[in-house]
Structure 1
């Protein structure tokens, strides 16, 4: 069974790039962001709708062809939610050097597909309930990931990372020492609630029933959605504080592609003592002019490259 790291080793080069870019895919479209090294404002953005659920090759090719500068860029990719699953799974009781091999047997308990049709990756959980030993397990469609990797490698200078939505949002908080809770939604996808601190995911949940949250009318938000989301948020906060024994979160961020988002934020804010804010507030400098919320995780994905460059520059200066 392949891992994401194995695929990247095959397609990556260790060479400096003049630009940093990220390709974010949702269930309906792809989004490209590009930055020049040392600058916070994007120099290029592009959006490409997905004409059919199986037409990803054409979609990705078109958006990557939108700028020749990509040939000089390091690229991070965020997989669409339809092409992977994220589980909390039991961590195999083996040495770290044997973990990749042992993961395939753990994955078999969570999927119905043959193991040779998926690839896996895992990342640790920073704090766990007493007596537990869990990991976050990613299971992705192998053919899809290989197709994406091949196309991106042909179009860019260096393919650095293939990641997922949850981790792209996490990267927006790489240097935050206090916990924040995120409520984010893409059209036709399940709602994501997660708590992040210092660039790590402490808790995440995918919540059904809000797939069409982007289309909710004002009355639906006032008379149901806001209170329902507040309840889900409170449940997540209770788990974080009581079960994981963590200090309370300091902020709640909302990202919902709905024209009534501000009203939703105000309604939810009435139920909590901490600030409830639009996620956009954190990203003003790095965002393009577009109001499409799919660019938010795209910023997160490229943030990892910018942060890596910053650490390298600091090391060089020592």
Structure 2
């Protein structure tokens, strides 16, 4: 692990979660800045050694993230067009090498491929990257302790270089490369060719008019071919993005010879093509083509030696912790059990002492006999008191009050012939002038103290042989 990787692990960074873009160009490597306003970093290739330059780029101060998206120029990959297979799109990365086996000289295991469907036909635009080159890129990323998110070809990026214009033709040349012509429909490249017969420069003092005429001829042939082959899409705009050329002069010359309208891809001063490519890619959130598919990325192995050892250490710590906790709880329970056993022994000892006292505490026979006699005597007195209580106040004062009350209530229409009085009864019988005199007379009892509260349960009224009204009153008797 190098010093930069150690610092990245120790020193926190605000942009740690961002993804930077790296362009692997023809003559240099460009690294986007974490700050979009800052200038990108250029690291030139020395004698074409892109591996050392890429290592230097990923370990430089300009690269401050832990993942990056790689854009590779056209000289690192090949392109093909094949019929669209009848398989799901998510299976294309695995199936494409086998579908290309008749078109390539390498073995299917020596390449990786990615494709995008063409909007103008039922074909796929396929990009092929040698597996050997991919392995080098992954190895360099691993040595720098960074993650390679994906690899996109530059043709994928140039499709979005014209801004809102989705259908256009692009004449492009990077420094140290040949002129390339591409046709884009819905931002997807549908036609590509490299014009190797034209040698730059086309403008300036060292230019030659024959080279410019030759380029114009090749362009017109391509435009005529596209007009006949691509249906349903208008390709009347030719954009120019050529390094080391006077683009205004080139635009003027081509406008005079071509049938299509020629304009600059970027008006005014611009960076070179690869810096422009880096800027466009940095503004993209995703890419349709990825030459480093998910099935080739290393899987996170869970059952590694480090993970297994760490797992056993964690399990051992948990087991030891559980053992000590159980031992502590068992010790506390043993102490509580000992205390309870000690208390139980003391209580059992007290029970034995009390039982001994109870055994020794026996009453004498004389005392038992005396208690029995006292109980009999008490019971006899209770019965006597009960008998005495049966006599109410009328028995204590006699029956004179009742007789005086009856005499006081004497009437001309009532004549008593018989009076029967006990402590709880008062039975009356006699004669009455008429039947209604009896209840009127009984109603007057409530005005006399000795007669109030007397309740009669039976009243019998009749006539004797002399047709005289007779009555009998029987007092209600209390139930025993």
Report the TM-score range of the alignment, normalised by the length of the smaller protein.
0.7 to 0.9
Root-mean-square deviation (CA, aligned residues, Å) is 3.2
Structure 2 counterpart of 1:60, from 42, 54, 59: 54
Structure 2 counterpart of 1:265, from 236, 251, 273: 251
Structure 1 counterpart of 2:127, from 138, 141, 148: 138
Q: Deviations over 1:74-106 (max 9, x none)?
A: 532112333211111233344445433432222
User: 1:121: Cα distance to partner?
Assistant: 1.3
Q: Where do residues 43-122 of structure 1 align in structure 2 (5 Å cutoff)?
A: 43-53=38-48, 55-67=49-61, 70-71=64-65, 75-122=68-115
Structure 1: gaps spanning 5 or more residues: 1-15, 309-318
Contact kept, 8 Å, 1:76 with 1:302, in 2: the verdict is: no
Larger radius of gyration: 2
Q: Where do residues 189-208 of structure 1 align in structure 2 (5 Å cutoff)?
A: 189-208=177-196
TM-score by length of 2: 0.50
Pick closer, same or farther for the CA change 1:68–1:46 going to 2, 3 Å.
Answer: closer
Pick closer, same or farther for the CA change 1:262–1:19 going to 2, 3 Å.
Answer: farther
Structure 2 counterpart of 1:249, from 235, 241, 244: 235
User: 1:200: Cα distance to partner?
Assistant: 1.8
Pick closer, same or farther for the CA change 1:98–1:159 going to 2, 3 Å.
Answer: closer
Contact kept, 8 Å, 1:126 with 1:201, in 2: the verdict is: no
- Please give the alpha-carbon distance, in whole angstroms, between the structure 2 residues aligned to 1:307 and 1:80: 15
Pick closer, same or farther for the CA change 1:149–1:302 going to 2, 3 Å.
Answer: farther
Q: Where do residues 182-193 of structure 1 align in structure 2 (5 Å cutoff)?
A: 182-193=170-181
Residue 299 in structure 1 maps to residue 279 in structure 2: yes
User: 1:221: Cα distance to partner?
Assistant: 4.4
Q: Deviations over 1:149-180 (max 9, x none)?
A: 3434665865433111211211324x635522
Structure 2 counterpart of 1:172, from 161, 169, 177: 161
Q: More relative contact order in 1 or in 2 (CA 8 Å, sep 6+)?
A: 1
Q: 2:277 aligns to what SS in structure 1?
A: helix
- Please give the alpha-carbon distance, in whole angstroms, between the structure 2 residues aligned to 1:219 and 1:110: 43
User: 1:69: Cα distance to partner?
Assistant: 5.0
Contact kept, 8 Å, 1:119 with 1:141, in 2: the verdict is: yes
Question: How many residues end up aligned between the 2 structures?
Answer: 274
User: 1:273: Cα distance to partner?
Assistant: 5.8
Q: 1:301 aligns to what SS in structure 2?
A: helix
Contact kept, 8 Å, 1:125 with 1:136, in 2: the verdict is: yes
Pick closer, same or farther for the CA change 1:172–1:106 going to 2, 3 Å.
Answer: same
Structure 1, 246-255 or 292-301: larger mean CA deviation = 246-255
Pick closer, same or farther for the CA change 1:30–1:256 going to 2, 3 Å.
Answer: same
Quick check: which one's strand share is greater?
1
Structure 1, 226-235 or 147-156: larger mean CA deviation = 147-156
1:9 maps to what in 2? none
- Please give the alpha-carbon distance, in whole angstroms, between the structure 1 residues aligned to 2:20 and 2:90: 31
Q: Deviations over 1:245-280 (max 9, x none)?
A: 234335322122224333222211222465423323
Contact kept, 8 Å, 2:156 with 2:287, in 1: the verdict is: no
User: 1:140: Cα distance to partner?
Assistant: 0.8
Residue 237 in structure 1 maps to residue 223 in structure 2: yes
User: 1:188: Cα distance to partner?
Assistant: 3.9
- Please give the alpha-carbon distance, in whole angstroms, between the structure 2 residues aligned to 1:247 and 1:81: 25
- Please give the alpha-carbon distance, in whole angstroms, between the structure 1 residues aligned to 2:25 and 2:43: 11
Q: 1:218 aligns to what SS in structure 2?
A: coil
2:405 maps to what in 1? none
- Please give the alpha-carbon distance, in whole angstroms, between the structure 1 residues aligned to 2:142 and 2:133: 14
Pick closer, same or farther for the CA change 1:118–1:256 going to 2, 3 Å.
Answer: same
